[in-house]
Structure 1
């Protein structure tokens, strides 16, 4: 295989890996966006829970369903908010695990790209000498 063919193959490989890296970076950005949304929701729900904990057992609690306020049992409201907090926390944990995986892939892809660039450079340097 000639140097120019080897060089072309390496450059094609480099392009593919650069595209993969770009996709990984988009996925990481998306993960951060979703995490931000869930973190805000978690804060809001924890605030609601604190407010519910301050109420006496006979307090009136209302839940908004569409444009309508519907009376809700305090214990039920409390349980619902706790369930929501558990769900959001689980989602955040899942997002963290996914992010860690994506970042590891990103680092590995960067290393591969660096090695490819070095190989291309050394091939080009060798070609220049010839």
Structure 2
């Protein structure tokens, strides 16, 4: 019976760790979505600009003049990177969800086996 309790304790800890991992992945994905939205807004603003208009980039406490092509390229690169990271995190989230379901099944299996063993022991005690 102590083995069963130890096994359940370990499975429970594993399950909690997987839940924490899932939450961290979801939080990261939300942050990336916010960054994506922000960069799409910047991209739309760049599209409204005329060729001769000036773009400034904040570097520390200073605004530095930046070439429109360079600024546009930087934003597009960020969006591409963010898109890849979101796809990676979504796959990670799916993988963790599968692991959670598997761990949940293991916990249920061990609990039902323990209940059956307890019921069998109780029946033996009643017969004796």
The TM-score range, normalised by the shorter chain, is over 0.9
- Decide which of 97, 106, 116 is 1:112's aligned counterpart: 106
Q: CA deviation at 1:15?
A: 0.8
Counterpart in the other structure of 1:50: 44
How many positions carry a matched residue from both structures? 124
Q: Does 1:73 align with 2:75?
A: no
Query: What are structure 1's unaligned runs of at least 5 residues?
Result: 1-6
Matched ranges for 1:3-18 at <5 A: 7-18=1-12
Shift of 1:9: 1.2
Select which of 26, 37, 42 maps to 1:32. 26
Distance apart, 1:95 and its partner CA: 0.3
**Moved beyond 4 Å, runs of 4+:** none
Distance 2:74 2:10 in 1: 47
Distance in 2 separating the partners of 1:99 and 1:78: 31
Shift of 1:14: 1.1
Shift of 1:10: 1.7
Partner of 1:94: 88
Gaps of 5+ in 2: none
CA distance in 2 between partners of 1:82 and 1:52 (Å): 11
Tell me how far apart the structure 1 counterparts of residues 14 and 7 of structure 2 sit (CA, whole Å). 11
- With normalisation by structure 1, the TM-score equals 0.94
